[in-house]
Chain A
Amino acid sequence: MRKAVGPIARRSEVIRQQRERGGWVAAVLPIHYPRALLRSFDLLPIEVWGPPGIDPDHGAAHVQAYVCSIVRNALSFILSGGLDVADVIMVPHTCDSLQGLGSLLLDLVRPRQPVVPFYLPRGERECDIQFLAEEFRAISRQLEEITGRSPSLLELIECVKRDEEADGLLGSLHHRRNELALNSYEFYRVLRAREYLPSEDFVELARSCLACAAEAPNVGVPLILSGIVPEPMSMLALIDELGARIVADDLACCGRRLYPNGVSEDPFVRMAERIVRSAPDPTRGSPLADRSEHLLRLAAGSEARAVVFHGVKFCEPELFDLPVLREELKRAGLPSVIIEVDLNDPLSHQVRTRLEALLEMIR
């Protein structure tokens, strides 16, 4: 079988290259942010989804145990020097917990780097787009002060368009995943390279994957994966092992960030449009009806037969929606299962049992 993907550059390697070029690095917390804006300042965004499996002790001295492990780990990582490589830390206001983290970093637990928080509006109205565009302008002014650079609007719009190209290809990868001869684990490694690769490198990676696409037999029980982040990644290997496959996802780090192209010629407004008009997302306040319709559409388009809700423990934005979503899916004949993880825990036996039970029910 043709292998659709060669070696993917590692984070550390990408950061080293950026540094060698004289560029800067921005550590970015989940979920939505103005990637193009950072790039226009030659700041390479490196996303920090936790990271998983680190010693959470440093963070435990500052945030309570009932706060999600993405936030606890991120704080531990910062305090233990894991993000020393970053010149800037960007904290989107994604939820109450990231709000707390951003505020802590600004006020009480100050890291070495400047912290750039911003607010993500919770509506999809015209005023939300205008507001977000203004937030981006404010960030731009802040970055000018931090970096001493002032990219032109033309440079910024070029970065936006490069992002649109990369996201377009990201969308193609999502939609043509069945043709890629990759198992779930390999496939998500490719998708998640978007979290740290410069857009132009991601474009190359995506093109090389898509160039190898070919009609492939559909094997395995088709599932949708919904949640924040597919960690531990070994869960994906388990899904493959159990004879299932992920045919679509509603993950905060992946499918909810298939940003459509913007319309406006103003790059700030265009970046805002892209985020505000992306797939329904509880952290952007999308109505529940939109979320369930979106899941049902994904299922219809991918012929998925069940949904796996893979949440991070204590993640309120996800937890609030589950009962309604599961009920709507059930009504449409789609069973679902909830798996909750702490990023520091290994894959538990319970996860295997739950997945097995779900698959048994479908088969």
Chain B
Amino acid sequence: MSVGRKMVYHVNVNLLGRAVLRWHRLKAERRGGAPRGWKQEYLAPPLSISPRTKELISRHYLAGRYAHLGRKVAWVTSGAPVELLKALDYYVLYPENHAAVCGTVRACVEISGEAENAGYSRDLCSYARTDIGSALSGKTPVGKLPKPDLLLACTNICQTVLAWYRVLAQHFRVPLILIDTPFLFGEASEHVITYVRRQLEEAVPVAETVAGKRFVERRFEEVTQRSRMASQLWLEILERNHHQPAPLSVFDQFIQMAPIVEMRGDGFTVDFYAALLREVDQRIAQGVGAVTKEKRRLLWDNLPVWYRLRYLAEFLAERGVAVVASTYTNAWGELAPMMDVNRPWDSMVRTYLHPILNRGTGHKLATMIRMIEQYELDGAILHSDRSCKPYSIGQMDQRDHLVRECGRPALLLEADHNDPRSYAEEQVANRLDAFLEMLGV
């Protein structure tokens, strides 16, 4: 890279960009308090770390905008072993997170419409549609996305991601590294572990060639260490919700999880979660609950409904219901104990083979039951997500089991994680009301 390009990158991202974003954050922190219309009566004030979350995410996309001036860009799936790429100094973009940003700002219909117009069916995962629509049209709420030099798809969340990344590989004409992580119907057998390990090792020279850099084991260990620390902190934050009232709702968690997904392995992510943990502890010390009058505590299963987060948070809080734990946010913390910095390769294989989505329906049910017990929950909402089959298949039996065997009311709520066209608010409200009545609220 030329010195000139380096300078432009440095000025735009590290000097000007950072300064502007920092200024915005400080302004928001000074202003403090809740945004207009915030239902203070039912909800605790927004977390004071929120402006920092926003700053981190904006900085991440800003760095992406100028990434090609200084770094190679990789697009990866949310469960990808990103530590390999971070060790090679890739700028890493997570299309799933980007799609979630589009969903949150309600841009999914427009952007995914671009994919649909090009022939992509509405029956496909709405993240994939959003992202493909963005790749085809350039539309994005984050300014501009850098084109990938490399794609990395790991099948540990679904096969959909591979289908989707094959489309991206064809569109951008760049190499696609596949880390195929066999679905664990039971325990991971030796040959499964060998297979994944071999793929990880074979991925290195490909990633090196594209990066034009040598892979340095020590850097890899450092990144793995930071990933582990951040995941561990995230897990501790979630577990603080054993406390009653719970200091953090899952709706807060959905927002605050962005860095653990897309900035895993970075030092500032560790600092961020250490600060969040302090704030959560402060809430506990002050007796502040995310829902001011917590009467019932629930579990959330599956992805969020990104475009109605606030509505659902308020709807439930008004009725004294705190949704305090979720299989989804838990997925980015529960594997922290598997990460072992002294055996980074082995631990990487184990960690990336064991996400909840790579394990059976029985394992998910067991996880839900364990969480219900540990968090002392009164029931569960299972979001039946129309365009995420791997997370949703099995929910009908899981719900029946929770009701019959565990005596916990459980609701199957029909929606879609990103596409509001598969969501009927009136129906959702009616179903929630009926469910809450069962819970006695």
CB distance B178 to A138 under 8 Å?
no
CB distance B121 to A288 under 8 Å?
no
Q: How many residues of B contact A (CB 8 A)?
A: 52
CB distance B393 to A100 under 8 Å?
yes
Provide the bound-state CA to CA distance between A138 and B162, in Å.
25
- Chain B proximity of A90: nearest CB distance (Å): 12
Which residues of A have CB within 8 Å of B120? 319-320, 323
Provide the bound-state CA to CA distance between A47 and B392, in Å.
26
- Chain A proximity of B422: nearest CB distance (Å): 9
Among A103, A125, A282, A321, contact of B394 (Cβ-Cβ < 8 Å)? A103
Give the contact stretch, choosing among B57-65, B142-150, B191-199.
Answer: B191-199
CB distance A104 to B195 under 8 Å?
no
CB distance A66 to B123 under 8 Å?
yes
CB distance B397 to A62 under 8 Å?
yes
Which residues of B have CB within 8 Å of A93? 182-183
CB distance B118 to A323 under 8 Å?
yes
CB distance B389 to A128 under 8 Å?
no
Query: Would you list which residues of chain B between 329 and 365 have a CB under 8 Å from chain A?
Result: 360-363, 365
Which residues of A have CB within 8 Å of B192? 119, 131
Which residues of A have CB within 8 Å of B183? 93, 99, 103, 119
Provide the bound-state CA to CA distance between A117 and B192, in Å.
14
B219 CB-CB contact with A under 8 Å: no
Query: Would you list which residues of chain B between 38 and 65 have a CB under 8 Å from chain A?
Result: none
CB distance B163 to A97 under 8 Å?
no
CB distance A288 to B170 under 8 Å?
yes
Q: A95-B159, A119-B183, A127-B199 are in contact. Are A104 and B397 (CB under 8 A)?
A: yes
A198 CB-CB contact with B under 8 Å: no
CB distance B195 to A130 under 8 Å?
yes
Which residues of A have CB within 8 Å of B119? 322-323, 326
Q: A93-B183, A138-B189, A319-B124 are in contact. Are A100 and B362 (CB under 8 A)?
A: no
CB distance A122 to B393 under 8 Å?
no
B327 CB-CB contact with A under 8 Å: no
Which residue of A has the minimal Cβ distance to B186?
A: A106
- Chain A proximity of B104: nearest CB distance (Å): 23
CB distance B394 to A104 under 8 Å?
yes
Q: A95-B159, A117-B185, A119-B182 are in contact. Are A316 and B118 (CB under 8 A)?
A: no
B202 CB-CB contact with A under 8 Å: yes
Among B166, B360, B392, contact of A107 (Cβ-Cβ < 8 Å)? B360
B267 CB-CB contact with A under 8 Å: no
Among A95, A107, A314, A321, contact of B365 (Cβ-Cβ < 8 Å)? A107
Query: Would you list which residues of chain A between 277 and 295 have a CB under 8 Å from chain B?
Result: 282-283, 285, 287-289
Which residues of B have CB within 8 Å of A321? 163, 166-167
CB distance B191 to A138 under 8 Å?
yes
CB distance B397 to A320 under 8 Å?
no
B164 CB-CB contact with A under 8 Å: yes
Which residues of A have CB within 8 Å of B17? none
B291 CB-CB contact with A under 8 Å: no
Query: Would you list which residues of chain B between 372 and 390 have a CB under 8 Å from chain A?
Result: 384, 386-387, 389-390
Provide the bound-state CA to CA distance between A127 and B192, in Å.
11
Q: A138-B189, A323-B118 are in contact. Are A67 and B393 (CB under 8 A)?
A: yes
Known: A67-B393, A121-B182, A122-B178. 9 other contacts (CB 8 A): A93-B182, A99-B393, A106-B360, A106-B362, A107-B362, A108-B361, A316-B124, A316-B389, A320-B164
Residues of chain A whose beta carbon lies under 8 Å from any beta carbon of chain B: 61-64, 66-67, 93, 95-97, 99-104, 106-109, 117, 119, 121-123, 125, 127-128, 130-131, 134-135, 137-138, 282-283, 285, 287-289, 313-314, 316-317, 319-324, 326
Question: Lowest 10 A-B CB distances belong to which pairs?
Answer: A100-B393, A107-B362, A323-B119, A134-B191, A119-B182, A320-B163, A108-B397, A131-B195, A103-B360, A288-B170
Name 27 A/B residue pairs within 8 A (Cβ), A-sorted.
Answer: A61-B396, A64-B384, A67-B389, A93-B182, A100-B393, A100-B394, A106-B362, A107-B360, A107-B362, A107-B363, A107-B365, A119-B183, A121-B180, A122-B159, A131-B182, A131-B191, A137-B191, A287-B170, A313-B123, A317-B159, A319-B123, A320-B124, A320-B163, A320-B164, A322-B119, A322-B121, A326-B119
